[in-house]
Each structure stands twice: as structure tokens, then as C-alpha cells.
Structure 1
Amino acid sequence: MTQMCRVQSWCLGVTLPLILAAALHQGFATVAPPTTPQTTAAPHKDPERPERGNYLVTGSNGTACLLAYMGLQLNISFTSFSQNKTVQDIVNLQPNFTKSSGSCEAESATLRLTTDAEKTNLTFVFALNTTSNKYHLSEVSLSAAWPDMKEHFFAQNRSLDYLRGTLGYSYMCREEQTLSVTPNLSINTFQVQLQPFGLTGDKFGAAEECQLDEDDMLIPIIVGAALAGLVLIVLLAYLIGRKRSHAGYQTI
């Protein structure tokens, strides 16, 4: 009877930490990774994920000065002509029907994307800080004249701070992101790799991963370390319990 109680106690001691480990793992899995104040993980929305497009800007000498490989999704609120009220529409940018152009200067680079026979014009402006050798997306503007729009849509923000990278390196982010531009416009980005400055030829420089990707890799490490600690605690509890049981037999 005494031996049976000891076995049951040991089983309970093993089972409880394992249950705790499972709950801890589930908790980590359901908590979204922290984000920077400017960039947040984008929710899954319809339509489906947009196709990634290759976008190129060449300088005055004909060589590439800006490269971008990314999927883009426009989230726009506008006044509907048919419904006579404000509606929200989500539209994927289709690379096959999108033309890229732009310009490159010493401290700024512009990427213009034009679709639907020039009815949609999306412009990204990147700025370079020559002191720190850091670049970022500083401005976004969108001009659109879709069939159901009651009036021409235009949104612009010249004080953004997204997609930060280092001169000579490309910016990479596999995670989906939402770039908030104005109350009526946000842009969802998918699997972004871009480089607006310091290109060598027509290839990306070494990639710098975004904070969202780093946080996504950190969570499994934390969960693994927590589980390893719990296993160690269970093992120590087992050894201590076994030692005490042997000591009890010797006393009898």
C-alpha cells in the first residue's frame, strides 16, 4: 500500500509539470509577437494573398538603382457611387498589370507603380540619412479613380518611418505587415525584399531581417527553453523522491 502511494505521488509529480508545459506552450503559441510602434502584423483578409512582383527603377546611366520584390494589397475607404456611403475595399496589386518607374537621387529614391491604364498610381519615397547610412520609407501616396468611386481618391503621408534598412543592404520581411498611411488608406505587404540605395549591379545586397521575423524565430526558442527547464525539474523531483524512498526503507 505504501509503495503504491509512492508510485501515485511520483506520477502526479510528473504529470502536473507536463500539463503546465503544455499550457505554457499553448500560451506562447497564441500570443502575437511584439511589434514596433510603426509596423504591425497584418490580419488575414480577403482577397487571398497577392502575387509578389519584381519592381525595378533605373538611374540616368541605365543601371538599377532600386529593386523591390513584394506582394502589395491596398486597403481603401471611399465613398461608393452605387451605395452612396463610405465603403472599404481591399484590392491586390497584380504584377502582370503593373508598370514600375521612378527616380534615384543621392538621398532619396522613388518607386511609382501604375495599374489599370493609369487609374491607380501608388508611389513610395525612400529617404537616406547619409550620417547614419540608414534608409527608410518616408512617404506614400495613392491616386485612384475606380469605377464605383463617387469622386477621385487621393491619400498622402510624407512623415512615415517604415521599412528601415542599412545602406548597401536589402530590407527583408517574410511576415505580413500593415503600413498605415492615412485613416482612409493602409497597405498590406507580403514577403518583402527591397533595396533603394547602394545596389551593386541588379542584385540585392545581403539581407537584414525585420523585427517581426526575428520575434517569430524567438518564440520557439523561448518555448524550448521553458520545456527543457520543466523536464529538468521533473527529473530532479524524481531523483529526490527516489532517494527519499530508499532512505525510508533503510530506517524500517
Structure 2
Amino acid sequence: MTQIGSFQSWCLGVTLPLMLAAVLHQGFAAVAPPTTTPPTTTPTTAAPHKDPGRPERGTYQVASSNGTVCLKASMGLQLNVTYVSQNKPVQDIVNLQPNETKSSGSCGSDSASLQLTDAGKTNLTFFFTLNTTTNKYHLSEVFLSASWPDMKETFSAHNRSLDYLRGTLGNSYVCRMEQTLNVTQNFSINIFQVQVQPFGLTGDKFGAAEECQLDEDDMLIPIIVGAALAGLVIIVLLAYLIGRKRSHAGYQTI
């Protein structure tokens, strides 16, 4: 009976921490960045082109009128566009190549922009807004104009009511995890290893990093699993000691 009780305690100790870790992992996996998808007409079925793989990370800067850097961004960018070609919907995924991309833009007291152009075929512009009351900034607007080989006419997408890449004045926004920024139903941006600061730069260096929620959740999951395993070891050890103590007590009774 002592061995059966110890085995039941050990099974209970194994099951509960692992169930807790699984539930928490599913909860965190469901976290996704906010989306803003205004109503537009989207083709029902799109034939995706070949996946170009992970994009190269580039660094882009904007200088103010006195020559100082006022906006800086390091990130890999992948554009996901759905358009009509030969009367058929096509989903095209294109990586922005840093060595072929020129950056420009402007900086103001409460607004800043970063324009990325790729050999005249792609024009991607990010607009950032600063709330001077709370000293918080965010990506508020994105514009895309693209003339890719299979397109019969120039594709354009624009959204002025976004809320991504939120940070504090003087700090940079950082996210190592891949994010998808939904701009319109026909256009989204996959952004990789992003660090951006549109306001409050000191020289050309990023300010203190503010981690995104996805990174915090990704770091929290191993901690929770490790704590669950540590608890499991303690429960097994306690079950063993209790079982051993009862066993010795049984031998002494005649």
C-alpha cells in the first residue's frame, strides 16, 4: 500500500505541472499584435508565389535639417500583397533588400516619417505620431505603392488609423519575434527583429530598449516550464521520503 500511495503521489505530481505548462503555453501562443483592417475588396482565392525566405535586416536613418539623425530603424521587411494578374488573384511575397533600398523622410515635434524606395518599383512609407501629453509614440500610418513585374497597373494601399510599434519618447521599440502588421485586407507587412526610434534620439544611437509583449511572453514560457519541472522534482522527492519513512515504520512494528 505504501508503494501504491507513493506511485499515485508521483503521478499526480507529474500530471499537474505539465498540464499547467501546456495551458499557459497555449494562452501565450494566442497573443497577437493588434490589427486594423478597414473594409476593402479582396480576391477570394489567391495563388501564392514562392516564399522568398527570411528577409535581410537593414538599418535606415532620417536626418533633420541640421544633419543630425532624428529617426532610426533596424529591421527585416517582407511585403505581402494580393492583386489581380491576368484576371486571377495573386498573392506576392517580396523581401525588401537593404542594399537596394534608399531611405528618406522627415521629423517634426510630434510626427515623423520613414520612406523606403526600391529602384522605383516599391515605395513604402511609415508615419509615426507622438502624443506630447503622454510622451508615447506609435506607428499610425503606412503607405505602399508598388509596380512589380506581374502587375498590369500600380498597386497602392494606405491606412491612416494604425496602432503598432508603441514606445516612449527617448526609448526605442524592440521586438525580436516576427510580427505581422495588417495594413489593409490586400496588404500586410511581416517585420523581423525590429528596433525603431522615431523621436528623442541622442546622436545616432538607439535609446533604452522597450521589449514588445511577444518577446516578454516568449521568455516567460521557459521560466514557467522550468518552475513546473522544479516543482515536480520536489514533489517526487517528498513522495519518496514519505514512502521511505512509512516503510521503516512498518518494519519496526511486530
Bin the TM-score by the shorter chain. 0.7 to 0.9
1:97 corresponding residue in structure 2:
100
Secondary structure of 2:29's match? Answer: coil
Per-residue deviation at 1:234?
A: 1.2
Q: Give the drift of 1:150.
A: 2.5
Question: Which aligned pairs between 1:166-181 and structure 2 lie closer than 5 A?
Answer: 166-181=168-183
SS of structure 1 residue aligned to 2:227? helix
Moved over 2 A (4+): 5-37
Q: In structure 2, how many angstroms separate the alpha carbons of the residues matched to 1:168 and 1:26? A: 38
- For 1:70-219, list aligned pairs within 5 A: 70-81=75-86, 84-115=87-118, 117-219=119-221
Deviations 1:32-86 (A, max 9, x none): 53425516xxxxx9221100111010001111000001000000000113xx211
**SS of structure 2 residue aligned to 1:240:** helix
Decide whether the 8 Å contact of 2:78 with 2:96 is kept in 1: yes
Judge conservation of contact 2:101–2:117 (CA < 8 Å) in 1: yes
Count, aligned residues: 240
Distance 1:174 1:119 in 2: 28
CA distance in 1, matches of 2:29, 2:22: 14
| Structure 1 unaligned blocks of 5 or more | 40-44
Distance (whole Å) between structure 1 residues aligned to residue 26 and residue 184 of structure 2: 30
Query: Please, what is the CA RMSD of the aligned residues?
Result: 2.2
CA distance in 1, matches of 2:52, 2:153: 24
In the superposition, the TM-score normalised over structure 2's length comes to 0.86
Which amino acid in structure 2 is aligned with residue 58 of structure 1? A
Cα drift, residue 231 of structure 1: 1.5
- Tell me how far 1:25 sits from its aligned partner: 5.7
Are 2:229 and 1:227 equivalent residues in the alignment? Answer: yes
For the 8 Å contact 2:111–2:128, the answer to whether it is kept is yes
Determine helix, strand or coil for the equivalent of 2:231.
Answer: helix
2:62 maps to 1:66: no
Tell me the amino acid that sits aligned with residue 67 of structure 1: K
Secondary structure of the structure 2 residue equivalent to 1:212: helix
CA contact 2:28–2:217 (8 Å) conserved in 1 = no
TM-score after normalising by structure 1: 0.87
The amino acid of 1:164's aligned partner reads: R
**Letter matched to residue 158 of structure 2:** Q
Within 2, Cα distance between the matches of 1:9 and 1:132?
59
Aligned to 1:42: none
Work out whether residues 33 and 212 of structure 1, in 8 Å CA contact, stay in contact via their aligned partners in 2: no
Gaps of 5+ in 2: 36-49
| Superposition map of 1:34-73 within 5 A | 34-38=30-34, 46-73=51-78
Asked if structure 2 preserves the Cα contact closer than 8 Å seen for 1:79 and 1:151, the reply is no
